[in-house]
Structure 1
Amino acid sequence: MEAATAPHHRLLAAVDVGTNSFKLLVACALPSGRLLALDRLKEPVLLGRGRLPDGSLSPDTLLRALAALRSFDAALRPLPLHGPPRLVATSAVRDAPNRADLLSIVRSDLGLDVEVLSGEEEARLIYLGVLQFLPVYGKSVLTVDIGGGSTEFVVGKRGEVQFATSLNLGHVSLTESFIKNGTLVDLRRHIRSALRQSPLIKIRELGFEVAVGSSGTIRSIERAIFLSGYDDLMSSREFSREWRFSREDLRLLVDKLLGLGLGDVEGVRRLGFSKKRGEFIVAGGVLLLEIFEALGIENMEVSGYALGEGVISEMLASECMDFDVNANVRWQSVIGLAMRFDSDNRMKLAARCVGIAKELFDGIRRCGDLTNCLSKAAICLDEKDFEYLEAAILLHNIGLLIDKKGYHKRSYKIIKNGGHLHGYSSEEIEIVALLARFHRKKFPRADQGSLKECSEEMKKKIRVLCAIMRISLALQKCQCVIFQGLEIFHTGGVFKLVLSKLKDHLLVSHDVQLKSETIEAELRPELDHFKEVFQQKICVTISSANIEKSAQVL
């Protein structure tokens, strides 16, 4: 696992000890209560499978659980975490008669405590996670999270929980009890009976303005529904992914799943589900459709954040008196859009690049007046400018979901025309879109047609920010160097980019000058663009005094 943070950012970790899988989240706590998920690991432990007759976790299951947590601990050990990770367990551990055995071996082996959540507490934390992803703080929100052993329901508004409950209905437990025996009729009957006998009538009485799904099952259903209409979307001029679906969309997908017949793994995969998810998706889809019917849900939005992010939000809130659970709406819309078009961990790579860009941006600001560098026209970079740069880096590759060829132009169109960014003016959206558009290929000229609507000062800023962005992306992709420290200096009319704390196995020789020349050669096009903008040379050097054998990766 690799992670990067700027100096004033804190690195936090949470582990969701779930029924189907264990999930590790490493997130960066940014100023103003913002969260940026940097890395995720997942281990398919399947606590809900192979239980003893009394419902206890078997010895083999306990060993699998411990092995997964050991792998997480090994991944976290090199990271500069702000405090120990928080481990929370859900229904499989909650319901196990011998749960104390798991807690005991984890504490003795790893020195970590596992907190067993009640169903209501789990629901509350999921709601907190949703609030970090979707701009729904002021609305009455129903959140539904389908896990392996239970489903959590919570109605909240303005950060306060109005109702929360947990039902013992999960996609793994339902699959084990019904799907594998081929009893779909019994599955529906069981779910409907459980919903009727549950306290969900309270949700009907309270009402809600928006329904949100937050689990992996619901996200995979949304993806399959999205892919089913992919050709129609591609045939239109506008490409948009809303990350929501209707009851009718869900019904059509469930009908397709049921029409395949049990055990048709290839058929399930053709509908857009992974092999691991496909094993449980029939039960998950039928359950979600019955929930739609029981609660009168017509449309559901999908959150990329859930329990893990809720746990980290609460960790922040306990430490910071001024932590605002109503996270920045602009930030939420950027993260939401980035994750909607994310695949192949590109979001994770972009998040690392933000750390590099922040060091470059702050270093250039520290160099003082840029008047002499920018054709005698002074500009002043501020935090708002970095916000545009940060958003553009996180969004620059979203067009790759469609096709690699010309993806930067497609990213520009999605950002500019998709209506996804909330809280930004049309000019600000244009700035972010332009930075994404020019992160590769041709560098924007001052007289570029795309920049005509911008003020003269903003044209110069866009070129400056573009130069910083392109060097940051090139450094992040650089195959010949992995580093932790980065500083920029300005002396004698030359910008000097100093890299430190390199991993020593990458130094094929200790000739630091040779290594600097290799890096410069790989970054040459972007260094030339930087020189064109600033009218001054920039060189890359390696700080030989800080080469370490086991440095953290930036």
Structure 2
Amino acid sequence: MAIEFSNPISSSELLAAVDMGTNSFKMLVVRAGPNGRFLAVNRFKKPVLLGRGMNAEESTISSEAQHRAIVALRKFGQVLQRQRIHQTKIVATSAVRESSNKIEFLSRVREEVGFEVDVLSGEEEARLVYLGVLQFLPVYDRTVLTVDIGGGSTEFVIGKQGKVLFATSLKLGHVTLTEAFVKNGELLELRNHIRSVLLESGLIEKVREVGFEIAVGSSGTVRSIENAIFRGYSEGLTNALVSLSEFRRDWRFRREELHAVAERLCCLDGGGILAARKAGFFRRRSEFITAGAVLLSEIFETLDIAEMQVSCYALGEGIISEILATACDDYDINVNARWRSVAHLSTRFNNEKKIKSAVRLCGHH
């Protein structure tokens, strides 16, 4: 399948990024302009669970998981064929990176689907996540610590003005931690394992050395926790306040709010977590949320994070940003965050004329 072109972007074009993650495969399709601004056209997500059953002793991708992956990628391929995509980039992360049979798996993907897959190193994944964050939050001039919790690993990156100052990836993911500890009810062992990995990794010393001004979380796990806090879960409410306005959202939470969520989740069994999801607190898959919340809570403690901002953009948007940086004649790394900031501010105005004026103002910068 010929899906990649090298022609420069001279007008509005469709671009796609495919992220073959440990838990889910995601495809982002955007319409992009020559200055680097893009608008999401479609998002697709398939719960492939590529890392299910993988552990330190057995790091192979099972035949069942490979089959689910092929089915998902074929569906993505059908979407790409129906649309005139200017350029597509397909990447794989922790599960493929750590698997002992990745060559066999990637050969199967190439032969059965026609996709060439770029297996990212942990550091490269972290860098792309940071680029994605810069498309969502106006933090270009700040020293930013970004934390991205995936199914098989967590990426940490400190960046400023688009440059990576430090990046690393640790084998701590919500899927693998759930498989190893949560399913067996070993929550104390879960915390001890996370602390041990964090302490032995050298992460604490490096983060202290480089320093950071603000912390940003960019994964689905972080967004799920923010959603629960926004809707009152950390305050002990039993039903989500679904009428809360999204425009009042600050997209951030404090350490004590996170700890309250993690403690509540640790007291629940599978039925209790499912009930919390049905009540509207956890919109995404809930079976891995306990491991994710405990992991993030330990990261807050270890790195002395008081508050975390939340980015709805991550790896997929970082891939798009990378494509645009090389393909656009007049690329501006800040254009999307600036657009989002002004558009968000405009929603607070009380008439259509002021909204249009604010949006036009953004377009001139």
TM-score grouping bracket, smaller chain normalisation: 0.7 to 0.9
> Contact 1:258–1:282 at 8 Å: present in 2 too?
yes
In structure 1, what is the equivalent of residue 78 of structure 2? 74
The structure 2 residue matched to 1:44, chosen from 43, 47, 53, is 47
1:60 lines up with 2:64 in the alignment: yes
Q: Secondary structure at the match of 1:416?
A: coil
In structure 1, what is the equivalent of residue 198 of structure 2? 195
For residues 238 and 79 of structure 1, the distance between their equivalents in structure 2, rounded to whole angstroms, comes to 31
For residues 178 and 237 of structure 1, the distance between their equivalents in structure 2, rounded to whole angstroms, comes to 37
In structure 2, what is the equivalent of residue 281 of structure 1? 289
In structure 2, what is the equivalent of residue 539 of structure 1? none
Q: Secondary structure at the match of 2:293?
A: helix
Q: Secondary structure at the match of 1:223?
A: helix
Residue 30 of structure 1 and its aligned partner are, at CA, apart by 2.2
Q: What are the superposed Cα offsets for residues 222-250 of structure 1, whole Å, 9 maximum, x if unpaired?
A: 00100117999999999711111010111
Q: Within 5 Å, which residues of 2 pair with 1:453-468?
A: none
In structure 1, what is the equivalent of residue 7 of structure 2? none
For residues 242 and 121 of structure 2, the distance between their equivalents in structure 1, rounded to whole angstroms, comes to 45
> Contact 2:240–2:280 at 8 Å: present in 1 too?
no
> Contact 2:135–2:337 at 8 Å: present in 1 too?
no
The percentage of aligned residue pairs carrying the same residue is 56
In structure 2, what is the equivalent of residue 161 of structure 1? 164
Runs of 4+ residues deviating >2 angstroms = 50-54, 229-239, 259-268, 326-330, 433-436
> Contact 2:136–2:336 at 8 Å: present in 1 too?
no
Residue 318 of structure 1 and its aligned partner are, at CA, apart by 1.6
Q: What are the superposed Cα offsets for residues 475-500 of structure 1, whole Å, 9 maximum, x if unpaired?
A: xxxxxxxxxxxxxxxxxxxxxxxxxx
TM-score by length of 1: 0.58
- Sort the Cα spacing of 1:430 and 1:286 in 2 relative to 1 into closer, same or farther, 3 A: farther
Residue 217 of structure 1 and its aligned partner are, at CA, apart by 0.5
- Sort the Cα spacing of 1:223 and 1:89 in 2 relative to 1 into closer, same or farther, 3 A: same
Residue 168 of structure 1 and its aligned partner are, at CA, apart by 0.2
1:92 lines up with 2:92 in the alignment: no
Tell me which amino acid in the other structure corresponds to 2:227: R
The structure 2 residue matched to 1:294, chosen from 302, 307, 310, is 302
Q: Within 5 Å, which residues of 2 pair with 1:469-480?
A: none
Residue 262 of structure 1 and its aligned partner are, at CA, apart by 4.8
Q: Secondary structure at the match of 1:33?
A: coil
Residue 430 of structure 1 and its aligned partner are, at CA, apart by 6.4
In structure 1, what is the equivalent of residue 281 of structure 2? 272
> Contact 1:154–1:162 at 8 Å: present in 2 too?
yes
For residues 156 and 247 of structure 2, the distance between their equivalents in structure 1, rounded to whole angstroms, comes to 32
In structure 2, what is the equivalent of residue 526 of structure 1? none
- Sort the Cα spacing of 1:21 and 1:329 in 2 relative to 1 into closer, same or farther, 3 A: closer
For residues 276 and 338 of structure 2, the distance between their equivalents in structure 1, rounded to whole angstroms, comes to 37
Mark the runs of 5 or more structure 1 residues left unpaired by the alignment. Answer: 1-6, 338-390, 393-413, 418-427, 437-457, 459-554
In structure 1, what is the equivalent of residue 6 of structure 2? none
Q: Secondary structure at the match of 2:35?
A: helix
Tell me which amino acid in the other structure corresponds to 2:226: E
Residue 151 of structure 1 and its aligned partner are, at CA, apart by 0.2
Residue 8 of structure 1 and its aligned partner are, at CA, apart by 2.5
Residue 296 of structure 1 and its aligned partner are, at CA, apart by 0.8
For residues 209 and 133 of structure 1, the distance between their equivalents in structure 2, rounded to whole angstroms, comes to 17
- Sort the Cα spacing of 1:184 and 1:329 in 2 relative to 1 into closer, same or farther, 3 A: closer
For residues 89 and 166 of structure 2, the distance between their equivalents in structure 1, rounded to whole angstroms, comes to 25
> Contact 2:325–2:331 at 8 Å: present in 1 too?
yes
> Contact 1:50–1:61 at 8 Å: present in 2 too?
no
Q: Secondary structure at the match of 2:265?
A: helix
- Sort the Cα spacing of 1:435 and 1:156 in 2 relative to 1 into closer, same or farther, 3 A: closer
Q: Secondary structure at the match of 2:139?
A: coil
Mark the runs of 5 or more structure 2 residues left unpaired by the alignment. Answer: 1-9, 361-365
In structure 2, what is the equivalent of residue 431 of structure 1? 354
The structure 2 residue matched to 1:415, chosen from 323, 348, 353, is 348
Tell me which amino acid in the other structure corresponds to 2:230: F
The structure 2 residue matched to 1:28, chosen from 13, 31, 34, is 31
Residue 111 of structure 1 and its aligned partner are, at CA, apart by 1.9
Residue 327 of structure 1 and its aligned partner are, at CA, apart by 2.3
Tell me which amino acid in the other structure corresponds to 2:171: N
> Contact 2:34–2:328 at 8 Å: present in 1 too?
no
- Sort the Cα spacing of 1:78 and 1:278 in 2 relative to 1 into closer, same or farther, 3 A: same
Q: Within 5 Å, which residues of 2 pair with 1:146-545?
A: 146-200=149-203, 201-228=205-232, 240-269=248-277, 270=279, 272-274=281-283, 277-334=285-342, 337=344, 414-416=347-349, 431-432=354-355
For residues 288 and 243 of structure 2, the distance between their equivalents in structure 1, rounded to whole angstroms, comes to 32
For residues 271 and 26 of structure 1, the distance between their equivalents in structure 2, rounded to whole angstroms, comes to 28
For residues 92 and 236 of structure 1, the distance between their equivalents in structure 2, rounded to whole angstroms, comes to 37
For residues 118 and 220 of structure 1, the distance between their equivalents in structure 2, rounded to whole angstroms, comes to 26
TM-score by length of 2: 0.87
Residue 211 of structure 1 and its aligned partner are, at CA, apart by 0.6
Number of corresponding residues: 344
Q: Secondary structure at the match of 1:149?
A: coil
> Contact 2:129–2:314 at 8 Å: present in 1 too?
yes
For residues 334 and 216 of structure 1, the distance between their equivalents in structure 2, rounded to whole angstroms, comes to 25
For residues 152 and 236 of structure 1, the distance between their equivalents in structure 2, rounded to whole angstroms, comes to 31
- Sort the Cα spacing of 1:238 and 1:286 in 2 relative to 1 into closer, same or farther, 3 A: closer
For residues 32 and 155 of structure 2, the distance between their equivalents in structure 1, rounded to whole angstroms, comes to 26
Tell me which amino acid in the other structure corresponds to 2:355: V
For residues 128 and 305 of structure 2, the distance between their equivalents in structure 1, rounded to whole angstroms, comes to 22
- Sort the Cα spacing of 1:187 and 1:241 in 2 relative to 1 into closer, same or farther, 3 A: same
Q: Which has the larger radius of gyration?
A: 1
- Sort the Cα spacing of 1:224 and 1:110 in 2 relative to 1 into closer, same or farther, 3 A: same
Q: What are the superposed Cα offsets for residues 374-402 of structure 1, whole Å, 9 maximum, x if unpaired?
A: xxxxxxxxxxxxxxxxx97xxxxxxxxxx
For residues 136 and 435 of structure 1, the distance between their equivalents in structure 2, rounded to whole angstroms, comes to 20
In structure 2, what is the equivalent of residue 521 of structure 1? none
Q: Secondary structure at the match of 1:16?
A: strand
For residues 315 and 130 of structure 1, the distance between their equivalents in structure 2, rounded to whole angstroms, comes to 15
For residues 271 and 175 of structure 1, the distance between their equivalents in structure 2, rounded to whole angstroms, comes to 22
For residues 247 and 30 of structure 2, the distance between their equivalents in structure 1, rounded to whole angstroms, comes to 30
- Sort the Cα spacing of 1:329 and 1:273 in 2 relative to 1 into closer, same or farther, 3 A: closer
- Please tell me the root mean square deviation across aligned C-alpha atoms, in Å: 2.9
For residues 262 and 155 of structure 1, the distance between their equivalents in structure 2, rounded to whole angstroms, comes to 35
Tell me which amino acid in the other structure corresponds to 1:296: D
